[in-house]
Amino acid sequence: EPEVTQTPSHQVTQMGQEVILRCVPISNHLYFYWYRQILGQKVEFLVSFYNNEISEKSEIFDDQFSVERPDGSNFTLKIRSTKLEDSAMYFCASRQNSGANVLTFGAGSRLTVL
Amino acid sequence: GQNIDQPTEMTATEGAIVQINCTYQTSGFNGLFWYQQHAGEAPTFLSYNVLDGLEEKGRFSSFLSRSKGYSYLLLKELQMKDSASYLCALARGGYNKLIFGAGTRLAVHP
């Protein structure tokens, strides 16, 4: 079954450092998303991406965050200068342009900011 | 805006049936989704409703009443592996982003 793949599975970084989280969405999917989940809390929407541009973003997605689709397969989330409160699991998701509009999630990248 | 409420925790016995409720208030609605999430893992899709009524998928069924802002997920013939969090989510906006509730943690006991 097709799946969304994410790397790294776990990253530890120092406060103030830049982090790039990578995702390979399912190949025929056209809509891409990033979500985060702070430990013990709910899954929160960060940003959606379609047709090579951001379609919607939440209040969490401030100027420290950016997304990019540098080639035909990768979808990245960059955090420019990490803060302690950025520690969370970051999930990438993608979906098709038709049918049930079901989002398929990757296994996540756990970010720990020290 | 939107507000999604579901019970924080539930317990049930192996082999039994459990119903997890979700109530919501929203200014836009493209569908109501249910996901399962085991600890430390990604949410996985279970079921969704766009129209009122019951959708059945094997041991899992989901019900929606849009006029009441209410949905439930029904799990039958519970198994130990069903111990997980169950997330109610609203699809909103032109790009169908999902907005998740806080989830219901279900513990299945022998």
**How many whole angstroms separate alpha carbon B89 and alpha carbon B24?**
9
Pick among B5, B62, B88, B98 to test the A interface (most A CBs inside 10 A): B98
What would the two tokens of residue B65 be? Answer: 């009443």
Residue A63 pLDDT? 95
Work out the mean pLDDT of chain B and round it to a whole number.
94
B91 vs A contacts (CB less than 8 Å): 101
Predicted local confidence at residue A28, as pLDDT: 87
Question: Is the per-residue pLDDT at B1 higher than 70?
Answer: no
Q: Which residue has the tokens 């793949």?
A: A5
| DSSP 8-state symbol, A85 | G
Determine the distance in angstroms separating the CA of B43 from the nearest CA of chain A, rounded to an integer. 6
pLDDT at B92: 86
- Taking contacts as CB-CB distances below 8 angstroms, the residues of chain B near A111 are none
Interface test with B, best of A3, A35, A37, A42 (most B CBs within 10 A): A42
| Spatial contact of A7 and A76, defined as CB atoms under 8 Å apart | no
The H or E element that residue B44 is part of is strand B44-49
Query: Which of the four pLDDT bands, split at 50, 70 and 90, describes residue B86?
Result: very high
pLDDT tens digits along A63-89 = 999 999 988 789 999 999 999 999 999
Residue A2 has pLDDT above 90, yes or no: no
Mean of the pLDDT values across residues B10-34? 94
Query: How much is the pLDDT for B96?
Result: 82
A31 pLDDT tier (thresholds 50, 70, 90): very high
Please give the average per-residue pLDDT across A43-63, as a whole number. Answer: 94
Question: Which DSSP letter does residue B37 get?
Answer: E
The burial class, CB within 10 Å (0-12 / 13-18 / 19+), for A106 is: buried
Q: The tokens 């079954």 sit on which residue?
A: A1
Over 70: is that where the pLDDT of B4 sits?
A: yes
Closest-CA distance, A22 to chain B, in angstroms, reads 16
CA distance A39 to A88: 6
- Predicted confidence (pLDDT) at residue B43 exceeds the cutoff of 80: yes
Model pLDDT, residue A59: 95
CB atoms closer than 10 angstroms to residue A16: 10
Q: How confident is the model at residue B27 (pLDDT cuts 50, 70, 90)?
A: confident
